[in-house]
A and B are shown apart, each in its own frame.
Chain A
Amino acid sequence: MTGHSAAAGQSPGAPSFPWPLVKGHVSFALLVWAGFVAFVLVVILAVAAVRGIEVSGWDRATEAVRFYAVFIGIHLGYSQLPLHITHGQTRREFAMQAAMFAGVFVTALAAMVAAGFVLERGLYEVAGWPQDVSDGRLYTSPSELHWIFVQGWLVQGLWFVGGALIGAAWYRGAWSAGIALTAAIIVAIVSQMFITSDWTPFMNIYEQAAGSADIQPALATLYNLVLIGGLLAACWYVIRDIPIQNKAA
């Protein structure tokens, strides 16, 4: 007669909120952010030594955050997905946990982007520099922290989910990776078109869709949420029956 019982403190039931994934990645992102803020401030000071400062350095630097988001997304789809399934989780459970993680992680990244502007403002105020931001953002001034946060959330969210799609498709095979990469690039271009006004020649399309070439934050937010939803659906399509391959030692 055999008997099987779960270890103390362990439940054989469905997994809950992915705290370890969130804690690990958010705390690491905080470290990266702190280093990145310091690096950007040093670069600003270095530039200030040779010429006058006229714009926000952080505004330009945050363009790089999307690449961090896409990298973590790829890692999630390519490495974490098979790892969780080989340990007994279903694809559906993983997808739900990954979506919860994405929500928290992207929110944290957007908050860090907004916090960077606040820190930079301190330096700029002391030095008396104008903290101007680029045209074609959902925000027109670094004081519009709510729109900075929204844009950060949308851009990082879209690139993160795009990364997860590419990662899962890459695990599935080269062909699906190629298709996913193409789709993700197209979606990123369309998203950018909705957010920035300097994306010619696509602005004609934007003008037709939005009725005006001016950026309308609410509309841009809505369109980007639809795009993120589309990428999430594509992710589920790729992973819903993804085979777990036998990797060589």
Chain B
Amino acid sequence: MTVRVEARNLSLDYGDVEAIRDVSLSLADGRIYGLLGRNGSGKTSLMSLLAGFRRPTAGEALVDGEPVFENGNATRKVCLIREGADTVDSMEKVEAGLEFAARMRPYWDDAYARRLLDRFELSARKKVGDLSRGQRAALAVTLGLASRAPVTMFDEAYLGLDAPSRYVFYDELLRDFMEHPRLVVVSTHLIEEVSLLFEEVLILHEGRLILQDEAEAFRMRGANVIGPRDTVDRFVAGMTVLERRELGPTASAVVYGEFDDHLRRKAVEAGLEVGPLPLQDLFVHLTSSQEGEDDRS
């Protein structure tokens, strides 16, 4: 059995505010998707619709072709984890939270949950309400990973973790995904830190899906050119430069646009190094240029 998530002309309004506008997408099983967007772009709203946490104002959110909202067949396949560990009663102990998840989650792996608690150095005897922000985030991602839900979504759930714990999360996410492939969606602000996990990238901007593409194809939309300052400047003249940095006589320029083999060869012949396009720079470029277009229209 494989799982598929779709959105068809999905919209969500909060009063006069259009949080999600006419979003259509299709997500396949066995992939890790990165959901990127600036603050207020609609990432949480979109994930809430896909998990059945909210009723769409218009359009449909589907899991395996069935509407998600108020459909237990669909919602039991979905696990959306937010940072606040709001899937656990804060008056209970961590242990009770795991027991509750074990009862509610049909794909739950209790032994794996216990291993994750050990990795995050989190005691099951602690009361959830007494946990620090980082510990709550650790508990939240533990519940998400151990849910083994066919559709697992993390809505910036790990942002409260310190750097070593975040790397534990990335490591566990990738390892568990390899052993138990499923459809994973990760929304984040820490784009560069987590971008290597993504197989496909979605960018939301002002409630609209402005891009859905393979992460690799995404990175091929430009390059990072590094070398002597004058050589770099001559080489990138006429190109769209997203970011330029200098360190002594060396410069690096992030260029956007088709960067084919011919250009790569020319760059190497000129004594330049060509690296992949940083996802974060491209994200900033796309969302700011989109803003410009919106302003002009």
Contact = CB atoms under 8 A, between A and B. Distances in A.
A10 B107 contact: yes
B107 A6 contact: yes
Interface stretch (B68-76, B214-222, B243-251): B68-76
Nearest to A75: B91
Nearest to B53: A244
A205 B129 CA distance: 48
A181 B103 CA distance: 33
Contacts of A47: none
B104 A87 contact: yes
A243 B14 CA distance: 11
Nearest to A14: B72
A3 B78 contact: no
Nearest to B108: A7
B71 A249 contact: no
Interface string B43-71: 01000100011110000000000000111
B54 A249 contact: no
B181 to A, nearest CB: 4
A246 B82 contact: yes
A82 to B, nearest CB: 7
A27 interface: no
Nearest to B48: A244
B197 to A, nearest CB: 17
B106 A86 contact: no
Interface string A71-101: 0000000011011111111111100000000
> Chain B's interface: helix, strand, loop or mixed, by majority?
loop
A11 interface: yes
A4 B77 contact: yes
Nearest to B68: A90
B48 A88 contact: no
Given A244-B53, A249-B137, A11 B82 contact: no
A128 B101 CA distance: 54
Contact of B76 (A12, A80, A249): A12
A201 interface: no
Given A2-B182, A85-B53, A89-B75, A247 B82 contact: yes
Nearest to B76: A88
A202 B285 CA distance: 69
B189 to A, nearest CB: 15
Nearest to A11: B106
A90 B83 contact: no
A140 to B, nearest CB: 41
B85 interface: yes
A91 B54 CA distance: 11
A27 to B, nearest CB: 14
B109 A7 contact: yes
A249 B85 contact: yes
B54 A84 contact: no
Q: Interface centre among A3, A5, A88, by most B CB within 10 Å? A: A88
B267 to A, nearest CB: 40
Interface residues of B, number: 50
B228 interface: no
Contacts of A86: 53, 80, 86-87
A248 B133 CA distance: 10
B107 A7 contact: yes
Q: Interface centre among A4, A83, A244, by most B CB within 10 Å? A: A4
B89 A83 contact: yes
Given A2-B2, A4-B1, A90 B87 contact: no
A63 interface: no
Contacts of A249: 83-85, 133, 136-137, 160
A6 to B, nearest CB: 4
Nearest to A92: B70
Contact of B101 (A14, A20, A87): A87
Contact of A83 (B54, B100, B181): B100
A4 B108 contact: no
Nearest to A243: B54
A198 interface: no
A93 B72 contact: yes
A4 to B, nearest CB: 4
Contacts of A248: 83-84
16 contacts: A2-B3, A4-B2, A4-B3, A4-B77, A4-B182, A7-B109, A10-B106, A12-B73, A12-B107, A15-B104, A83-B89, A84-B104, A88-B104, A243-B55, A244-B53, A249-B85
Interface of B: 1-3, 29-30, 44, 48, 52-55, 69-73, 75-80, 82-89, 91, 100-101, 103-109, 133, 136-137, 148-150, 155, 160, 181-182
Given A243-B55, A249-B84, A249-B85, 14 more contacts: A2-B181, A4-B3, A6-B107, A11-B106, A12-B76, A12-B107, A82-B86, A83-B86, A88-B104, A88-B106, A89-B72, A90-B75, A92-B70, A249-B133
